[in-house]
């Protein structure tokens, strides 16, 4: 399965594509769409959309995973981030791809084991999980890869829950407080 992760931003939008069999993942590509500081905001959104559409066409992922909006102190920044997310969602839907979203805390918890991890910790864990020699750069690309890895984990967990067969007698009906016969 090929998963394309997006970390939306109005200054820089990170992207990362991985391929996985559910237990092992490998890097396909990653990077960031850096926008000219002097460009108008609508032009920045157009560039994000056009580049993502181009990347989705080139790498042909099975699904797109986007980091969802988080609480922001600055309303203007939150609004601009929302617009950037909107064009990322639009590019994915126009490509006809399934779309999944995870909060930043879910991504950090899944990838590092701590929902409030620092960006450098996420970057290092992405390096380790993908078996890379160097940390993916810039941080936005590492975040996009982390979003994709988060989806791999959640997909694997959902699949194993569906396919897992309970042990004989492994039911809460058989549990007796104080005993050791846990399901």
Structural domains in the chain, CATH included, are: 2-174 (3.30.420.10)
Q: What average pLDDT does range 59-82 have in this prediction? A: 87
- At residue 28, does pLDDT exceed 50? yes
- At residue 97, does pLDDT exceed 80? yes
Tokens of 157: 């967990």
The C-alpha angle 58, 140, 68, rounded to 5 degrees, equals 85
pLDDT value at residue 183 = 47
Q: How far apart are CA 14 and CA 142, in angstroms?
A: 8
Number of Cβ atoms within 10 Å of the Cβ of 98? 11
- At residue 167, does pLDDT exceed 80? no
Helices 104-112 and 119-130, interaxial angle, to 10°? Answer: 50
- At residue 174, does pLDDT exceed 90? no
Alpha-carbon distance values, 42 to 39, 46, 76, 175 (Å): 8, 6, 15, 61
pLDDT value at residue 158 = 61
SS3 104: helix
Residues annotated catalytic, as ranges: 7, 67, 140
Q: Are residues 30 and 16 in contact, defined by beta-carbon separation less than 8 angstroms?
A: yes
SS3 98: coil
Q: How far apart are CA 175 and CA 171, in angstroms?
A: 7
Q: What average pLDDT does range 100-127 have in this prediction? A: 96
- At residue 129, does pLDDT exceed 80? yes
pLDDT, one tens digit per residue, over 33-53 is: 999 999 999 999 999 999 999
pLDDT value at residue 72 = 66
């Amino acid at each position: 399965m090929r998963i394309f992760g997006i970390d939306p931003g109005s200054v820089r939008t990170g992207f990362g594509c991985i391929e996985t069999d559910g237990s092992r993942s490998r890097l396909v590509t990653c990077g960031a769409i850096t926008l000219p500081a002097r460009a108008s905001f609508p032009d920045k959104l157009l560039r994000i959309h056009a580049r993502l559409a181009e990347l989705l066409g080139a790498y042909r992922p099975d699904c797109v995973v986007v980091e969802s909006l988080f609480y922001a102190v600055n309303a203007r920044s939150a609004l601009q981030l929302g617009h950037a997310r909107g064009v990322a969602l639009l590019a994915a839907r126009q490509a006809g791809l399934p779309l999944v979203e995870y909060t930043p805390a879910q991504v950090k918890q899944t990838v590092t084991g701590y929902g409030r991890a620092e960006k450098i910790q996420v970057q290092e864990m992405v390096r380790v999980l993908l078996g890379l020699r160097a940390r993916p750069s810039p941080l936005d690309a590492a975040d996009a890869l982390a979003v994709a890895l988060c989806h791999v984990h959640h997909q694997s967990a959902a699949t194993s829950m569906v396919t897992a067969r309970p042990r004989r007698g492994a039911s809460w009906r058989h549990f007796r407080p104080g005993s050791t016969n846990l399901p």
